Amino acid sequence: MKRAASRPDFPLRHARQVRALRSPARQELVDALQAAGPCSIAALGELLGRAPDSLYYHVRALERVGLIVKRGVQRSGARDEALYDTPGRLILDFEPQNASERRDLLALTRSVLRIAERDLRAAVEGGTARYARRADRNTWCARVKGWLTPDELTAVREHLEAAAQLLVQGQPRRGAELHALAFALAPLAPTPRSRSARTPTR
């Protein structure tokens, strides 16, 4: 089965969905499905470099909260294999309402950043990272801090969304390499010194 060029957004709005994605293994599983399209658990195991038997528990847990769905079956030898996919492009649209939900959201964030660090380390240590600032650069890690108006914050969100769309709609094809993008945008409380430094004099 071939993935459609465009996937509908599937917002994550329930605490149980956020809780299910606290596991890095489950995040990698849904990432693989979103990148590869509908596939069997055996194919998922190959993509992730893991034994298929180790994935069944995670697939069932994600299926229970609606983050994985069945997309038909395919014949494999003498038996049929179920094909799994995500219901769309998974988009976090969740506002925690209590301390437990805030902890779940932070645990999910830690998993995202842990996976990002591991991916970057593997690229650097494996010699595939091109970090220098040139046309073929494929690796980048940075932190930028600055003051934004509401309109400027909107522009930042739109740029991040555009980058996410490029990644999630990409297809395996000649000249294409698999990439991952992780980011964390957060408001910072200004210190008294920085606040006074930014206060215009009259």
- What is the tens place of the pLDDT at every residue in 97-146? 999 999 999 999 999 999 999 999 999 999 999 999 999 999 999 999 99
Count of structural domains within the chain: 1
pLDDT digit string (tens) for 77-89? 778 889 999 999 8
Going by the DSSP 8-state scheme, the letter that residue 132 receives in this structure is S
| Residue 4: predicted pLDDT | 44
In a domain, 3, yes or no: no
Q: How deeply is 199 buried, as exposed, middle or buried, from its count of CB atoms within 10 A (0-12, 13-18, 19+)?
A: exposed
- Is the pTM higher than 0.95? The answer reads no
CB 156 within 8 A of CB 150: no
Residue range(s) defining the domain that contains residue 80: 9-131
| Residue 167: predicted pLDDT | 86
Does pLDDT of 193 surpass 70?
Answer: no
| Residue 1: predicted pLDDT | 41
Tokens of 11: 């917002």
CATH of the domain at 45: 1.10.10.10
In a domain, 43, yes or no: yes
pLDDT digit string (tens) for 34-68? 888 799 999 999 989 899 999 999 999 999 999 99
